Amino acid sequence: MRPQSAGTWLALPVVAALGALCLAPLAILFAYSFFSVDFVTISHDPSLKNYARILQSETYRGLIARAFGSGLLVAAITAVIGYPVAWFLAKRAGAAKTMLLTLLLVPLYSGDLLRIFAWRVLLGAEGAINRSLIWLGAIDAPLQGLLFSPLATHIALTYNYLPFMVIGLWLAFESLDDAWLEAAADLGAPGRDRFRRVTLPLTAPGLIAGGLMVFVMVVGDYLTPQLLGGASGVTVISAINDLFGTAFDWPLGSAIAWTMLAILMLCFGAGAVLIRRSSLVAEGA
């Protein structure tokens, strides 16, 4: 047996285990999404009833749209903030790089709840921001809209998931050879074209990877909206949670989960195609 094929065989159990552990639950969910609940048992007659219900229900449609809206918004904000940060880390930080990367990851070592309550302390009616503004004389009474609002949720979500975007982009910038930018300048490209035609397409994989991570995690985060969003804290994930728990409607929960998954995959397929297109030279071959 040649060493290469030995490697293939040795890797097989791990690949198989990963496949089984990751894909099997999803496949089971997918199967469940076509079933229905008959009082306290699950009827195994396949139908598209659950998907029809989602389409007809304004509540579910709204929740799903809001989840994706939040995901896109936070992914976009983290991309805008993360892009220059990642560029700086890869190209300008020099010896401080390791330290800065560690600092970037420090918030991730603290718990979710800790970070969420830290934001409560900052944004609350008696919080640091309101007190500072009152002390400065900018406002007379505390701003009530800071905490328990979509604003609070999105600030905390951006803070939470920014490191994932930065890491994705940082790796992309690390493999961006400065010689490519010099070559573009050499061939006559002004600064904005060097960015549009070289930097952006060549860091797009990092942008997609980082964006995907942030997007997925924002869509799946229900603790942050629940604890900081106030009345706006109900999310599609908490709805799925309820359907699998108290409401005992696994088929509908599965259908919502799969609807989310399908839309997610479509979004990113489209994004990848878009970025590929934009990377081609104007006159194209």
Partner 1 sequence: MAVAENTAAGRRTRPLLEAIALYKSYGSVQAVRGIDLALAHESYVTLLGPSGCGKTTLLRMVGGFEAIGSGTLMLDGARLDDLPANLRPINTVFQSYALFPHLTVLENVAFGLSYRSLPKDRIKARAREALATVRMEAMADRRPRQLSGGQQQRVALARAIANEPRLLLLDEPLSALDRRMRKDMQIELKDLQRRLGMTFLHVTHDQEEAFALSDRIVVMRDGRIEQQGAPGDIYARPATAYVADFIGGASCLPGRILGQVGKSYAIETALGRHVVPGVSGLSVGARAVLCLRSEKVALGETGTPAHVTHAVYRGADWLLECVAGGQIFQVTHVGPPPAPGETVRLSFDPDRVWIAREAA
Minimal distance, residue 183 CB to partner 1, in Å:
4
Q: Which is nearer to partner 1, 107 or 271 (CB)?
A: 271
- Read off φ and ψ for residue 42, nearest 5 degrees: -100, 120
Minimal distance, residue 90 CB to partner 1, in Å:
17
Q: Which is nearer to partner 1, 20 or 187 (CB)?
A: 187
Q: Which is nearer to partner 1, 112 or 193 (CB)?
A: 193
Minimal distance, residue 41 CB to partner 1, in Å:
55
What residue type is assigned to position 94 of the chain? G
Q: Which is nearer to partner 1, 122 or 275 (CB)?
A: 275
Minimal distance, residue 233 CB to partner 1, in Å:
42
Q: Which is nearer to partner 1, 37 or 181 (CB)?
A: 181
What residue type is assigned to position 164 of the chain? F
User: Among candidates 107, 110, 120, 143, which has minimal Cα distance to 226?
Assistant: 120
Residue 142's Cβ-side half-sphere holds a number of Cα atoms within 13 Å equal to 14
Sign of CA dihedral 187, 180, 275, 89: negative
Interaction site with partner 1 (CB under 8 A): 177, 179-180, 182-190, 197-198, 201-202, 279-285
Q: Which is nearer to partner 1, 180 or 244 (CB)?
A: 180
Q: Cβ neighbours of residue 51 under 8 Å, at least 6 residues apart?
A: 33, 255, 259
Minimal distance, residue 92 CB to partner 1, in Å:
16
Minimal distance, residue 276 CB to partner 1, in Å:
9
